[in-house]
Amino acid sequence: MPRAKQRNFLAFLLEQVALTSPGELFMAWMLVTVGFAVLYFGLSFVPGHGPTVTSQIAAPPLVRLGNSLYFSIVTATSVGYGDIVPQGFSKILVSLQSIFALFIFAVFVTKLTSHRESVALEEVRKFTLEESLHTLCEELFITRKDLDLIMHAAKNREDLLEEQWGDLRSAYKRCQSILQTIPELYGSQEYGTAIDRKREELLLAAVERTFQRIERLLEVLNERSINWTTHEQSFAELHGLIGVTNGLLVLWRDRSPHLELEEITELIGGIREKSMDA
CA–CA dist 214, 266 (Å, integer): 13
Task: Residue 99: count other Cβ atoms within 10 Å of its Cβ.
Answer: 10
Task: Residue 100: count other Cβ atoms within 10 Å of its Cβ.
Answer: 17
Q: Is the pLDDT of residue 192 over 50?
A: no
% of the chain at pLDDT higher than 90: 38
- CA–chain centroid gap for 229, Å, is 44
pLDDT band at 189 (very low <50, low <70, confident <90, very high): very low
CA–CA dist 96, 99 (Å, integer): 5
Cα–Cα nearest to 271, from 186, 225, 210:
210
CA distances to 37, 84, 230 from 40, in Å:
5, 11, 92
* Beta carbons of 155 and 224 less than 8 angstroms apart: yes
278 CB contacts (<8 Å, ≥6 apart)?
222, 227, 228, 229
pLDDT band at 191 (very low <50, low <70, confident <90, very high): very low
Mean pLDDT of 250-267: 91
- Measured between its terminal Cα atoms, the distance across the chain in Å is 77
Is the pTM value of this prediction over 0.85?
A: no
Q: 273 or 118: whose pLDDT is higher?
A: 273
Cα–Cα nearest to 39, from 28, 27, 48, 51:
51
